Amino acid sequence: MRIIIVDDEALARGVVREYLAEHPDVDIVAECANGYEAVKAIVELEPDLVFLDIRMPKLDGFEVAELAGGKARYIFATAFDQYAVKAFEFHALDYLLKPFSQQRFDQALAHARGGAADDGAVGALVREAATRKRPLSRVLIRDGARVHVIASEKIACIEAQDDYVQIRSEGKSYLKHQTLSELEAQLDARQFLRIHRSYIVNIECVSRIEQATKDSHVAILNDGSRLPISRSGYQKIRSVIQ
């Protein structure tokens, strides 16, 4: 089994390395101290399993998993239980709550060998954490070897383009492989509003609403852009913008 260890703390990487030493059939192919290193290593080396810290500077563990795509399976490791639900949204095989013992680590590795998540051991964590889910604070866009990190509050609007979305932020446009409905569910509903089947708008970026024809309206953004508003979208946006 080929394994990558990802953690910004050298001591934490050392613990995982020590626990893995008890398993002669594993091969540590890389150790990474930050998210950017991790994405590169996972994409290039295609390991069987990644032990992945969640709280790291620049890119967190979930962002690493998102950018690396389906290149590996993950066991998340963190000192914070509130991430359990999100970890299993990424189909994590297990969720190790630091500090964890050799016995608990071996149990997680056994689940990885079997390819099944440990529903019993982490069930309580998942149920407790379900009430703490938070909307996205930033959106990641992979552009070849580059990664764009866009603060959600800086997004002006989002347009559906088949299986992609075009995100407009600070005068620039970015294409992300995700459906509009999926992204809508992740954003803060108090800030982002679906005004049309093809458009989501940041309410803070709407300058005014104008009537386009007898039966249609458009949203005028602060930069002068004009977005169509559906009938149902008009009712929703009128309730928050007077």
- Spell out the domains of the chain, with CATH numbers in brackets: 2-131 (3.40.50.2300), 138-240 (2.40.50.1020)
Q: 240 vs 87, which has greater pLDDT?
A: 240
Q: Are 90 and 62 in contact (CB under 8 A)?
A: yes
CA end-to-end span of the chain: 60
* Length of the chain in terms of residues written: 242
pLDDT at 119: 46
pLDDT higher than 50, residue 29: yes
Q: 125 vs 152, which has greater pLDDT?
A: 152
pLDDT at 132: 47
pLDDT at 186: 86
Q: 49 vs 92, which has greater pLDDT?
A: 49
Q: Are 76 and 50 in contact (CB under 8 A)?
A: no
Name the residue with tokens 């709550």.
97
| Average pLDDT score over residue span 124-144 | 64
Q: Which residues pair with 227 in a beta bridge?
A: 219
Q: 124 vs 4, which has greater pLDDT?
A: 4
Q: How many CA atoms lie within 13 A of 106 on its CB side?
A: 9
Q: Band of the pLDDT at 143, cuts 50, 70, 90?
A: confident
- Distance, CA of 184 to CA of 155 (rounded, Å): 13
Containing 27, the helix (H) or strand (E) segment is strand 27-32
Q: Which of 200, 199, 206 is nearest to 238 (CA)?
A: 206
At 156-214, the pLDDT tens digits run 999 999 889 999 999 999 999 889 998 998 899 999 999 999 999 999 999 999 998 88
Q: Give every CB contact of residue 54 below 8 A, 6+ residues apart in sequence.
A: 60, 61, 62, 76, 77, 78, 80, 83, 87
Amino acid at 7: D
At 222-231, the pLDDT tens digits run 999 999 999 9
Angle, helices 10-20/102-114, rounded to nearest 10 degrees: 70
- Distance, CA of 47 to CA of 42 (rounded, Å): 6
At 80-133, the pLDDT tens digits run 766 666 666 666 788 888 889 999 999 999 988 886 544 444 444 444 444 445
Q: Give every CB contact of residue 184 below 8 A, 6+ residues apart in sequence.
A: 192, 194, 200
Q: Give every CB contact of residue 182 below 8 A, 6+ residues apart in sequence.
A: none
| Average pLDDT score over residue span 32-42 | 93
pLDDT at 118: 46
Q: Give every CB contact of residue 203 below 8 A, 6+ residues apart in sequence.
A: 191, 192, 193, 237, 240, 241
Angle, helices 61-68/35-45, rounded to nearest 10 degrees: 30
pLDDT at 112: 87
Q: Is 0.85 surpassed by the pTM of this model?
A: no
Q: Which residues pair with 107 in a beta bridge?
A: none
Q: 77 vs 29, which has greater pLDDT?
A: 29
Q: Band of the pLDDT at 234, cuts 50, 70, 90?
A: very high
